Structure 1
Amino acid sequence: MNAFTTKNWEEKIVSGTEGSGPRVAYAHATFAYEGVIEAESICDLLLYYAGEGYDSGQTTSPCFERFEGKVDGREGTFIVRHEYTFDAKGIASTFTVVPGSGTGELAGITGSGTAGGAMGEDRVAYTFEYTF
């Protein structure tokens, strides 16, 4: 199964205040991937909250994630750009590999995928279609 787990999540509000109206936060996260991607990643997210918590409706978050590890046995690094949405029910993302970001045996990698699961789950499933 293709899945990842959160190893670390640090979030802080950068605009607006907790509990009142729309606000923007920044999160810095570390994930561990298994499956076709065997890697650790560092992800930087810009989070938009429409109102109080996740219950206020769907929100959106663009982010960049840098992977270091293996894809299908090939070792190197690469970066993807996500567009996350999340609400009280869960998270969903579509992502694409940033052109030219692959290094080592992952040089020339292109591709896209999805990630999603219920809010609060330890493991999040992902798909990844790629070529070299």
Structure 2
Amino acid sequence: MNGFTTKNWEEKIVSGTEGGPRVAYAHATFAYEGVIEAESICDLLLYYAGEGYESGQTTSPCFERFEGKVDGREGTFIVRHEYTFDAKGIASTFTVVPGSGTGELAGITGSGTAGGAMGEDKVAYTFEYTF
């Protein structure tokens, strides 16, 4: 099964501390297994409608840098996500940033999805790619 786990999550509110909508920045590290065997560093810009996840669906654009292997080829690449999340779970669609592949991953293109229930240890993902 393709999945990833969170190794580290650091989040800081950057605006809206007085109530109402707020924006936060998160820096996270993930460990991937499956077609992607890699560690990643992800920087997210989070929007909350109110005080937290319970306030309804939120959105988060982010960039994620992978270092490891895809289908046995080694290198690095970056994807751009558009996450949505609420108290029940997370969902994302993502695409490889053109020209971001290095090493044996040079020329990689592709897209995928990620999603799972909030609080689960592992998040499932799909990834379709070409070189």
* TM-score class normalised by the smaller sequence: over 0.9
Q: Provide, for residues 54-86 of structure 1, a one-character-per-residue CA deviation record: whole Å limited to 9, x for no partner.
A: 111100000000000000000000000000000
Q: CA deviation at 1:29?
A: 0.1
Distance 2:59 2:2 in 1: 23
Q: Paired residue for 1:118?
A: 117
**CA RMSD of the aligned region, Å?**
0.8
How far 1:53 moved relative to its partner?
A: 1.1
Other structure's SS at 2:54 match: helix
Deviates more, 1:89-98 or 1:48-57: 48-57
The offset of 1:18, in angstroms, is: 7.0
The Cα offsets for residues 16-62 of structure 1, whole Å up to 9 and x where unpaired, read as 1175x110000000000000000000000000000021111100000
Structure 2: runs of 5+ lacking an equivalent? none
Q: Which runs of 4+ in 1 moved over 2 A?
A: none
SS of residue paired to 1:17? coil
Check the 8 A contact 1:18/1:52 in 2, yes or no. no
Question: Do structure 1's residue 55 and structure 2's residue 54 form an aligned pair?
Answer: yes
Alpha-carbon distance change, 95 to 14 in structure 1, aligned in 2, over 3 angstroms: same
Aligned residues: 131
CA distance change for structure 1 residues 131 and 18 in 2, over 3 Å: closer, same or farther? Answer: farther
Q: TM-score, normalised by structure 2?
A: 0.98
Q: Output the CA distance in 2 between the equivalents of 1:68 and 1:123.
A: 19
Please give the alpha-carbon distance, in whole angstroms, between the structure 2 residues aligned to 1:120 and 1:47. 18
Cα distance change on mapping 1:9 and 1:18 into 2, 3 Å: farther
Structure 1 gaps of 5+ residues are none
Q: Percent identity?
A: 98
Q: How far is the alpha carbon of 1:116 from its aligned partner?
A: 0.2
Distance in 1, matches of 2:2 and 2:18, equals 34
Q: Is the 8 A contact 1:10 1:28 kept in 2?
A: yes
Q: Secondary structure at the match of 1:128?
A: strand
State how far apart, in whole Å, the 2-side matches of 1:100 and 1:92 are: 25
What CA distance in whole angstroms lies between the structure 2 residues aligned with 1:105 and 1:118? 34
Please give the alpha-carbon distance, in whole angstroms, between the structure 2 residues aligned to 1:55 and 1:70.
36
